[in-house]
Structure 1
Amino acid sequence: MGFVDVVGIASNYIKQDFMLSDTSANLLLMMVFVWFVLFSIPTGVLMGKIGRKKTVLLCILITAAALFVPVISYNLVTVLVALSLLGIGNTMLQVSLNPLLSDIVPDSKLASSMTFGQFVKSISSFIGPVIAGGAALYLGNWRYLFPLFGGISILAAVWLSAVKVTEPSFDGKKGSFSDSIRLLGDRTILGLFIGILLVVGIDVGLNVSIPKLLMLKTNMPLTEAGLGSSLYFAAKTAGAFIGAVILVRISASRFYTVTVVLALISLAFTLLIQSTSGVYIGIFLLGLTVSNIFSIIFFKALLHKPAFRNEISGLMMMGIIGGALVPLEIGIVTDSLGLTSGMLVLGVCMIYLLANSLWNRRDAIVPVH
């Protein structure tokens, strides 16, 4: 799942390779995240028909194919093809894994378990920029990260195919597209869906903007500034692990509110500070504070209507289109008013999340069957 985060640092290198504007470079993200709108709900339906393990295997193979495309040919057209396949594979993976997790862990440990999963995902996310930067510096080409990640994907598929998985019975119930869309009529589900859209937008927006912010404030080259994304993901990794421990002890609702408030403070600090060390501290704090929000929102949605977990999973994954929409808005504002103004879009998104956390400020959302 973490391989899709390579698109953040990749967009900066692609922008440089093909001399694109900020708006055009951020528009490339649409080729990854638009598939969450088109494939999320159908993947939920597919799970009910062929099973979760087969769905996951299919998406891993699609991801591997995507990662080898730039190895075979590297131009703007093949980049678009690779990003599209990467988005499709990641969509199917994210939809199929979360319901499976909810079936094998008790509800009382679901938020903590999902957060720990984000911790594991973040490991691959933060090493991507390190590999890209190292490949550019020492091997002369940042694109060597693609065959490495592609090979790991193939190994993962081989390993999973050899594992025996006992999947739960669906009791003859097959979800449909209309079943999922009707869930948006529930105000709680709608609010959480928008929350997913914005928190993913914040995450990708930071991933894309951090190297640019470092280049703006410190005049460092992209090969060095790209490591700022690795710092961000390292902080997310640490934050997810810490969050997994904390969520065993306190309510997800309370933790949701606290982390959003701290994220807002961290963003303000990062934009206002001028020193290099200060910017690095701000980046680390941002990664630390936003690391658990996605999992908490997803957890709340799954528990709100337990009988519709497949449909809710597909619906929530549609919200990942925010990973394309929010950075696009940042790019438009940046081209007109500058990077600092563009990153204020992230602050607006965080304000909504704060409002949503206060709206759902209960120890547990009352399940609706």
Structure 2
Amino acid sequence: MHFTGDQNSAAAAPAPGSTRLLPLVITLFFAWGFCTVLVDVLIPKLKATFSLNYAEAMLTQFCFFLAYFIVSIPAGLLISRIGYLRGIVLGLLIMAGGCLMFSPAASMGWYPAFLLALFVLAAGITIVQVAANPLAAGLGDPARAHSRLTLAQAFNSVGTMIGPLFGSAMILAAGVATPDAGLSDAALEAFRVEQAGHVRLPYMIIAAVLVVLAAVCWWVRRSPMPSVRPVGHADYFRLLGHPRLSLGALSIFLYVGAEVAIGSALVNYLIMVGATNSEHAAGNLISVYWGLAMVGRFIGSYVLRFAAPGIVLAVCAVCAAFLALLAGVVLEGTPAAVAILAIGLFNSVMFPTIFTLSIDGLGEDTAGGSGILCLAIVGGAVVPLLMGLVADRVGLALALLVPVLCYGWVAAYGLLVRFGLLESRGKHAVAARKP
């Protein structure tokens, strides 16, 4: 795949007929968005069931997104050898296995077992994402890569909008209960098993759907694909020498961390500011946060056909930072709830825009670049945990200053790219060949 630069490169054009796979790839974006956002609904349930503080509850996101750090590089190596679709099939089956692990975790009523299940689920998502992001960008005209990946991410947001409604109905509708302080050990264990049992069925349903989707991907595995070059460990160090990619990875780290930290805190924040007094209702409102991201991505898919992606990225990051600042230190009540939910609209184009800006010009090194960027998604583990630690010390509202700082860097990255301070490798290569 080649997004800009030497248009005579064999990697510049997609494989003939490969665009027919785009609907299937878009379905994958929906599936992992749906699975990822369920953690936001799971957090208040586990927090109450196991009497956790904010930092302990954020271990769910830490274990989930830690998988990106551990699995992304091996996933890039794997996909560069077995191809995009075979890698996706393996990732989907691992996702299904992680979902099935929620059943014994619920039967044991043991918090670490849930963390392990989340890690395995996320490991599968990581493999799928390392393959699907560059695949979506490469299935069509290279000049439309920004727009096409943003469109695919829009359907990811459809999943993240529907997921909280599904999770809230299946997990939170029965209520969120905290064990009484005077319970005996046996009674406490029984309480936790009973409460954790509400998590079992939704993940069993998801596992079945993922297996069907893996079967479909296996069926079409011989379809024409964009080219991908085998990657070695040394290639990752070489690729990190490109500032546009390495600083893009930092931007992914901070953006994902900010987005996940806010989503993870939404139920508790909305109850704290008085927007609702029900965890079930607050869980449903998470769909507004992610639904606005969906709307923004459909809009962004169109806008990015004409506007400079670096400027679009910077404007959205500044707006998100401003809203987080309002929600954290200025507003209260319903206005605060509106401000924090509206951040989703401006989150919309950040990931796909950072991603395509970062891999611009990598050509057949795109699989390696994708692995590095997906590794940076570990920000979703680190930033929420940091925000949880801050919240335990100074309160949840002031802890929103953590994502404010993250969005500040993302805006800076967009401006650095827009004003030519971080040229793509492809542009340097073309310049070097000019007489």
Determine if contact 1:31/1:84 at 8 Å carries over to the other structure: yes
Aligned to 1:7: 39
- Shift in CA distance, 183/169, structure 1 to aligned 2, threshold 3 Å: closer
Aligned to 2:189: none
1:191 aligns with 2:247: yes
- Shift in CA distance, 143/238, structure 1 to aligned 2, threshold 3 Å: farther
1:109 aligns with 2:144: yes
Q: Percent identity?
A: 26
Aligned to 1:95: 130
Aligned to 2:5: none
Q: Alpha-carbon deviations, 1:186-214, whole Å to 9, x = none?
A: 22222111000001001101110111111
1:178 aligns with 2:234: yes
Aligned to 1:232: 289
Please, what TM-score do these two structures have when normalized by structure 2?
Answer: 0.80
1:68 aligns with 2:100: yes
Aligned to 2:347: 290
Determine if contact 2:168/2:283 at 8 Å carries over to the other structure: yes
Aligned to 1:32: 64
Aligned to 2:191: none
Aligned to 2:365: 308
1:121-132 correspondence runs (5 A): 121-132=156-167
CA distance in 2: counterparts of 1:283 and 1:344, whole angstroms: 12
Q: 1:254 aligns with which of 304, 308, 311?
A: 311
1:269 aligns with 2:330: no
Q: Alpha-carbon deviations, 1:80-139, whole Å to 9, x = none?
A: 221111110011011011222233222211111111111111111122221222124656
1:259 maps to a residue whose letter is C
Superposition CA RMSD, Å: 1.9
Larger radius of gyration: 2
CA distance in 2: counterparts of 1:302 and 1:203, whole angstroms: 21
Q: Alpha-carbon deviations, 1:279-327, whole Å to 9, x = none?
A: 3421342000011111111001111433421110000011000001000
1:214 maps to a residue whose letter is L
- The alignment partner of 1:28 has SS state of helix
Q: Alpha-carbon deviations, 1:134-188, whole Å to 9, x = none?
A: 1246567355321222222122112222225222444xx4211221123222222
Determine if contact 2:273/2:337 at 8 Å carries over to the other structure: no
Gaps of 5+ in 1: none
- The alignment partner of 2:112 has SS state of helix
Q: Alpha-carbon deviations, 1:221-280, whole Å to 9, x = none?
A: 32222223211011111111111111112111121111112112222233322232x234
- Shift in CA distance, 138/365, structure 1 to aligned 2, threshold 3 Å: same
1:134 aligns with 2:169: yes
Aligned pairs, number:
366
Aligned to 1:338: 395
CA distance in 1: counterparts of 2:291 and 2:201, whole angstroms: 21
Determine if contact 1:56/1:93 at 8 Å carries over to the other structure: yes
Determine if contact 2:101/2:117 at 8 Å carries over to the other structure: yes
CA distance in 1: counterparts of 2:307 and 2:212, whole angstroms: 38
2:320 maps to a residue whose letter is A
- Shift in CA distance, 253/145, structure 1 to aligned 2, threshold 3 Å: same
- Shift in CA distance, 169/261, structure 1 to aligned 2, threshold 3 Å: closer
Gaps of 5+ in 2: 1-31, 176-197, 430-435
CA distance in 2: counterparts of 1:181 and 1:125, whole angstroms: 33
Determine if contact 2:55/2:392 at 8 Å carries over to the other structure: yes
